[in-house]
Amino acid sequence: MTTEMETARTTSLEREIRRSLNAGDICVSPWREGVDYFADLVRHDDGRIVGVVRSPRHEVLPTDYEGTVDFADVLAKEVDVLGLLGQAGVPVPSVLAWRRRSDPQGTSWMLCEHIDHEPTRELNEDQQYELGRIARAIHSIRLDRTVGRSQEPWPSYVLGRITDRLRSAEKYCPALPVETVLSRCAADVPSGAGQTDALLHLDLRPPNLCVREGRIAAVIDVANAITGDPWLELARIRFCGLFTEAFRAGYGLADTDVERQERLLDFYELDIAALLTVVAAEEIDDQELLESSRDRLEHLCAQIVR
């Protein structure tokens, strides 16, 4: 049943999109929602789908692990990143229109092409291989500017990022050996421009893949994208259980490549393990996710300091 808040949101979006597309026969209806965004279907009055409009749950959100997040800036980044991915031949939905909020009480939004697909929770071996090829294609995009992060050198940025997330997670894992972990791993973080200027998606998992007729038809939700070291992305993929033999074959990784980077993978995986420990406890109240993320966080730290 549609709530008053949903009606207010979709009515406001209808007005905005009609004005942007210069089309009076636009209607918006609730469709899906995530932790940070609503995703609503945009149709013509005759039922034809125009696309999917994403709007943030909060325009500005203070967090312990990432400072204050302005989702209008995040949407602007997404428009940029989707353009870069599309130009490189990575399958993504095209952006039809987007708007930054015009006043503090307004709503920012992005209207994208609708990719017909069925949501999936797991990938078979062929799809894992395909994801590996897609990840490699994304990481092949090298930029002479930073995206989604500060312009400071990669080592200081990523060490600061992981430190902040570990400190935020300490209240749920009081015995974390944060200083020891940082001292053991700091020297492993690469600094060369050729190693740290790749585009990273940073959320490549089944909910963000449009699978149709057994193939990955599109990659969506680039809100986490940054430029940096591809091994940070690979560590996240490992956390999600997708760093499989099939994925590595698609990506072009040999076992010796992975063995050489084992400690860096462990260190980088702390980023997502610490983040989800805090998010599960403070934002979505998911006890199962809290326990699994905390267990993984403690295991990784033990691996690093042993």
Task: Give the orientation angle of helix 262-282 with respect to helix 154-169, to 10 degrees.
Answer: 40
Tell me the mean pLDDT in the region 52-74.
91
pLDDT level of residue 34 (50, 70, 90 thresholds): confident
Among 112, 138, 155, identify where a domain stops: 112
Task: Answer whether residue 119 is part of any domain.
Answer: no
In the predicted model, is pLDDT for residue 63 greater than 90?
no
Grouping H, G, I as helix, E, B as strand and the rest as coil, residue 306 is coil
In the predicted model, is pLDDT for residue 50 greater than 80?
yes
pLDDT for 80: 98
% of the chain exceeding 70 in pLDDT: 99
> What's the structural domain count of the chain?
2
pTM: 0.94
pLDDT level of residue 2 (50, 70, 90 thresholds): low
Q: What is the DSSP string of 100-144?
A: --SSTT---EEEE--------S---HHHHHHHHHHHHHHHT-B-S
Verify that 143 and 102 share a domain, yes or no.
no
Verify that 106 and 169 share a domain, yes or no.
no
Tell me the mean pLDDT in the region 234-254.
98
Verify that 61 and 146 share a domain, yes or no.
no
**Residue pLDDT, tens place only, 93-120:** 999 999 999 888 889 999 999 999 988 9
Task: Answer whether residue 117 is part of any domain.
Answer: no
Average the pLDDT over each of 60-64, 201-205, 296-300 and give the range with the smallest value. Answer: 60-64
pLDDT level of residue 1 (50, 70, 90 thresholds): low
Task: Answer whether residue 237 is part of any domain.
Answer: yes
Verify that 102 and 228 share a domain, yes or no.
no
> Which domain covers residue 221, as residue numbers?
125-305
pLDDT for 66: 79
Task: Answer whether residue 65 is part of any domain.
Answer: yes
Verify that 84 and 139 share a domain, yes or no.
no
Among 62, 81, 112, identify where a domain stops: 112
Among 112, 139, 159, identify where a domain stops: 112
Verify that 291 and 171 share a domain, yes or no.
yes
